[in-house]
Chains A and B, each alone.
Chain A
């Protein structure tokens, strides 16, 4: 397996190096940003009642603005990473082999196509999972350095943009690209179709969770304030008997609301931040399951298809 891993690395050197270098750069830059923000105390700088900063904060503001800007830009790039890494690593694995005819040589040498498939996909999948997990942790740290007064383990701030969901998202996208590549056998078409398909799958995971599982965890927030800490699901009108109604239901009950407006209190349906880990874990497991299904589907196609 060691030789097979080395050869797979050499066959996909460009893609693996690109993702590896991007990850290392990200870690280095992020570590510097987090270290500066943490040690300088810049994020705790607040203006006084007139908006004036203390001399200590004023001294830091020039560099601080840049560091915060780097932090924000880095965080905004994190959700793109699973797509870029997943597609760059996943799409060529099988598709390019079929495209260039190297699969014909390999499959004529290997009585077991499954062995070939495992040799070819296992190392890049491990690289993809590891690098995207590192990026997920980096995003957690960057966010933590920026928002110091929030316990991120119990908050939906940056949901889908940090932590383990970056890794599982990347694995889902990479696996989808592998499966699509096994069917299509053309690299460019695989990239495009996988981008669309994996986007749809990730949205589906989120939406299915929101529609079928989250309602059981939803609570009514009548405080009238919005907090990033909680996951906002929807809003309702609260009727005098305490029941909740959508706007359409309310108009059906009280048609005057349409013309006169309503005095019924508007409440939010939210998932409290304390549920963050549970929701994150559930979606991560769902994404991993889809990724595993995609890898299995790719394997079945490889076993059955012509080598191009």
Chain B
């Protein structure tokens, strides 16, 4: 596997106290659309910002398209198209102005391509950025990132401010562009249903750690959900985490080994897990691990 993005023992600590991330080892395969999921404060934005050289690692190393952003930030930025969490466009400029601005800042920027995406998303080029909704601004941000023709796209929770239709359009444009050009995209998001349709790989970050790093197909195939809280009937090494269903009933995410189904005996119901349940189960497990670690530290 050729990796477009790599992290080796990566750690980032702020103000000499809080570790946002620590000991992260990751590889995002070239040509994949990878979802980066995790609770608030899990370090998703820090990781993405570090790959583009906006943050400097406290320990470990990163590679962006084979370039270390700490040593060669220019090289890293040149390899990346970035859509920040809040696109923060210039309020006094029109959409067309933003495309022109990108052209002045980046060699090889394709204004025709960017304008094409903007028009496809039904956003007038003459509209002032200040008049656009949050969703439209995110779409302009995506169009600018695609206009860079960068091989790697880093998208930091761009779906957060989008309504369901805009989210769908955004992902459609993203997937189509990435597939057509053979690019790599890393998309951090909380919206699991959309990720399932758009992405082929899933990374779950806990508070500062990698909890899961699998293809979407593997993530679904390797997990099951059992109705009821984890109990003695389920072997401990198979339990990932317990969490409530939307109705409040306890559910448990369990791991499945190949050709070895979970013994149904004593268990209420066992069924395939949805991607959302896989993510939530791992997040719950991360929370328990963190609480245990805190208790041990306190002791």
Contact = CB atoms under 8 A, between A and B. Distances in A.
Main secondary structure of the interface of A (DSSP, over half): helix
A109 B93 contact: no
Interface stretch (A3-11, A39-47, A247-255): A3-11
B215 to A, nearest CB: 28
Contacts of A105: 84, 87-89, 141, 144
Contact of A306 (B55, B81, B109): B55
Contacts of B78: 111
Nearest to B72: A111
Contacts of B84: 101, 104-105, 108
Contact of B92 (A13, A110, A116): A13
Interface string B237-254: 000000000000000000
Nearest to A115: B105
Contact of A3 (B49, B86, B103, B141): B103
A281 B148 CA distance: 48
B8 interface: no
A112 interface: yes
Interface size class of B (residues with CB under 8 A): 20 to 34
B226 interface: no
A166 to B, nearest CB: 29
A116 B104 CA distance: 9
Nearest to B84: A104
B89 A109 contact: no
B144 to A, nearest CB: 7
Nearest to A110: B105
B77 A111 contact: yes
B82 interface: yes
B74 A111 contact: yes
Contact of B144 (A3, A109, A306): A109
B54 interface: yes
Contact of B104 (A3, A102, A111, A307): A3
A102 B106 contact: no
Interface residues of A, number: 23
Contacts of A3: 100, 103-104
A243 to B, nearest CB: 61
A119 interface: yes
Q: Specify which of A13, A107, A110, A115 lies most central, judged by the most chain B CB atoms within 10 Å of its CB.
A: A110
A72 interface: no
A110 B86 CA distance: 18
Given A10-B93, A104-B54, A109 B109 contact: yes
Contacts of B88: 100-102, 104-105
A109 B106 contact: yes
B54 A109 contact: no
Interface of B: 49, 52, 54-55, 73-75, 77-78, 80-82, 84, 86-90, 92-93, 97, 100-107, 109, 141, 144-145, 148
Interface of A: 3-4, 7, 10-11, 13, 100-102, 104-112, 115-116, 119, 306-307
24 contacts: A7-B100, A7-B104, A10-B92, A11-B93, A100-B88, A101-B86, A102-B88, A104-B54, A105-B84, A105-B141, A105-B144, A107-B54, A108-B52, A108-B77, A108-B81, A108-B82, A108-B145, A109-B101, A109-B148, A111-B75, A111-B78, A116-B105, A119-B104, A307-B54
Given A3-B103, A108-B80, A306-B55, 17 more contacts: A10-B92, A10-B97, A101-B88, A102-B88, A104-B54, A105-B88, A105-B89, A107-B77, A108-B52, A108-B54, A108-B77, A111-B73, A111-B74, A111-B77, A116-B105, A119-B104, A119-B105
